[in-house]
Amino acid sequence: MSTFQAPKGTYDLIPPDSAKFLAVREAISAPLRDSGYGYIETPGFENVELFARGVGESTDIVTKEMYTLTTKGGDQLALRPEGTASVLRAALEANLHKAGNLPVKLWYSGSYYRYERPQKGRYRHFSQVGAEAIGTEDPVLDAELIILADQAYRSLGLQQFRILLNSLGDRECRPVYREALQTFLRDLDLDEETRRRIEINPLRVLDDKRADVQKQLTDAPRLRDYLCDACKAYHEEVRALLTAAGVVYEDDEKLVRGLDYYTRTTFEFVHDGLGSQSAVGGGGRYDGLSEMIGGPALPSVGWALGVDRTVLALEAEGVELDLPVTTSVYAVPLGDEARRALFTVVTELRRAGVAADFAFGGRGLKGAMKSANRSGARYTLVAGERDLAEGVVQLKDMESGEQAAVGLADVVAELKTRLG
């Protein structure tokens, strides 16, 4: 065992479990790639001010959870706690919005960092796949992203997730609701930290998970009663598009998400098999974020889905993923001459697109065959001096146990035929 361990609240992805994470990333990104979203990758750290402005100075992410550092040059940086602000910053810096083809549709995958209390489903280092559609205000775009996330989850075999949907209004109607909500909240029995939140971002009080707080919110003013006609029409169109596409959702008037930049459409994917940490992903529209970080007005919408939480959801449902084969053929040489001959065969198999591995280190037949079993190989190739003298190798079917001698010059073609 090493002297060192992974930092508290983090995890290492190691085989075979890491294959699940790769499969989830692939399943989530596949519908995006098929729908015009291009891949983007941003640095693991950004200027602290980017997140303070974009995510919101009142959020727990900025006030409590960001990992910050000061460089030798005096710059204040933060490990990225979320992806949207970084992606939008990169798109603005590269002037992608000026190319004349809006919306700019991007997807990304990576690790994110928040200093949280570690528990199952909530880590200080976590993995997400996200998508952003930048520069267009269109309910069809909101619906598209929700439908693509739903498609991704269903392609994985998930069934027991729910989609929560709400509208947060816009800069015209939300201030009126904000004032009404503040007036209501100020009369409640709340702790000092929550009272401070009332003055900064009262909508986030609605998202408080504590039972004693939720009990007092029963008669809170409802945002839908304050939506302007334009926001009502926009939200109804999103709902109609989802219904027409056969996507089931639930209206949730208290859904506000944890980031300040959301406007109008907001949504969350939850899975009841995960306990208190039920959210597996979510997102929404953020029409004013570009201006918050110094860019032009660029109405946008996006989401991020947690890879680790999706894996937990799959495990909760007992879904077994159809993972790609890592080894189809395992070569076991007996002697130096066989090592050279079989390594040449393995190299040819790999060039032909066959997943092949090799018994390294000069192990004996018994130990090498145990390794072949552990690798899950469908076939093994065994050769010793006598086999090579006859110009053959022994090809064994690991499922049936049948074994046959195959010409050394023919073994690649034979295996390609058997493996289809």
What pLDDT, on a 0 to 100 scale, did the predictor assign at position 60?
Answer: 67
Q: Indicate whether 25 belongs to any domain.
A: yes
Instruction: State the pLDDT confidence band at 398, using cuts at 50, 70 and 90.
Output: very high
What pLDDT, on a 0 to 100 scale, did the predictor assign at position 100?
Answer: 80
What pLDDT, on a 0 to 100 scale, did the predictor assign at position 391?
Answer: 94
Indicate whether 262 and 405 sit together in one domain: no
What pLDDT, on a 0 to 100 scale, did the predictor assign at position 233?
Answer: 96
Mean pLDDT to the nearest integer, 95-115: 93
Q: Please give the C-alpha separations between residue 40 and each of 105, 107, 158, in angstroms, as whole numbers.
A: 10, 6, 27
Q: Indicate whether 367 belongs to any domain.
A: yes
> How long a stretch of residues is the chain?
420
pLDDT digits (tens, 9 = 90+) for 169-190: 998 888 888 899 899 999 888 8
314 vs 52, which has greater pLDDT?
A: 314
In contact, 61 and 81? CB cutoff 8 Å: yes
Q: Indicate whether 335 belongs to any domain.
A: yes
Indicate whether 290 and 339 sit together in one domain: no
Q: Indicate whether 210 belongs to any domain.
A: no
Instruction: Establish whether 262 is an annotated binding residue.
Output: yes
Instruction: Establish whether 177 is an annotated binding residue.
Output: no
pLDDT digits (tens, 9 = 90+) for 135-166: 999 999 999 999 999 999 999 999 999 999 99
Biggest alpha carbon distance in the chain? 92
Q: Indicate whether 258 belongs to any domain.
A: yes
In whole angstroms, what is the distance from residue 303 CA to residue 83 CA?
9
Indicate whether 312 and 334 sit together in one domain: no
Most confident of the ranges 68-72, 235-239, 261-265, 374-378: 235-239
Number of domains in the chain: 2
Last residue of a domain, one of 317, 351, 385: 317
Q: Is the dihedral of CA 110, 16, 305, 275 positive or negative?
A: negative
pLDDT digits (tens, 9 = 90+) for 213-241: 889 888 888 888 899 999 999 999 999 99
Instruction: State the pLDDT confidence band at 420, using cuts at 50, 70 and 90.
Output: confident
Instruction: Establish whether 132 is an annotated binding residue.
Output: yes
Q: Scanning the structure block, which residue is given the tokens 């991007």?
A: 106
Indicate whether 293 and 414 sit together in one domain: no
Strand stretches in 279-347, DSSP E: 279-285, 300-306, 329-333
What pLDDT, on a 0 to 100 scale, did the predictor assign at position 259?
Answer: 62
What pLDDT, on a 0 to 100 scale, did the predictor assign at position 57?
Answer: 59
Last residue of a domain, one of 317, 351, 375: 317
What pLDDT, on a 0 to 100 scale, did the predictor assign at position 117?
Answer: 84
Q: Scanning the structure block, which residue is given the tokens 């089931």?
A: 248
Mean pLDDT to the nearest integer, 377-396: 94
Instruction: Establish whether 100 is an annotated binding residue.
Output: no
Instruction: Establish whether 261 is an annotated binding residue.
Output: yes
Instruction: Establish whether 171 is an annotated binding residue.
Output: no
CATH classification at residue 255 = 3.30.930.10
| Mean of per-residue pLDDT scores for the chain | 91
Indicate whether 289 and 239 sit together in one domain: yes
Last residue of a domain, one of 252, 285, 317: 317
Indicate whether 242 and 370 sit together in one domain: no
Indicate whether 143 and 262 sit together in one domain: yes
CATH classification at residue 357 = 3.40.50.800
Instruction: Establish whether 246 is an annotated binding residue.
Output: no
What pLDDT, on a 0 to 100 scale, did the predictor assign at position 54?
Answer: 67
Indicate whether 291 and 405 sit together in one domain: no
Q: Indicate whether 42 belongs to any domain.
A: yes
What pLDDT, on a 0 to 100 scale, did the predictor assign at position 58?
Answer: 57
Q: Any idea which of 14-18, 192-196, 254-258 has the lowest mean pLDDT?
A: 254-258
Mean pLDDT to the nearest integer, 15-24: 92
Q: Indicate whether 178 belongs to any domain.
A: no
Q: Any idea which of 297-301, 360-364, 369-373, 413-417 has the lowest mean pLDDT?
A: 360-364
In whole angstroms, what is the distance from residue 88 CA to residue 347 CA?
44
In contact, 19 and 259? CB cutoff 8 Å: no
Whole-model pTM: value is 0.89
Indicate whether 285 and 140 sit together in one domain: yes
What pLDDT, on a 0 to 100 scale, did the predictor assign at position 260?
Answer: 65
Give the residue among 410, 262, 408, 271 at the shortest CA–CA distance from 333: 408
Q: Indicate whether 265 belongs to any domain.
A: yes
Mean pLDDT to the nearest integer, 335-363: 93
What pLDDT, on a 0 to 100 scale, did the predictor assign at position 316?
Answer: 94
In contact, 353 and 304? CB cutoff 8 Å: no
Is 1's pLDDT higher than 70? no
Indicate whether 232 and 291 sit together in one domain: yes
Full domain range(s) for residue 350: 329-419
Above pLDDT 90, what percent of the chain?
68
Indicate whether 311 and 333 sit together in one domain: no
Indicate whether 311 and 362 sit together in one domain: no
Instruction: Establish whether 114 is an annotated binding residue.
Output: yes
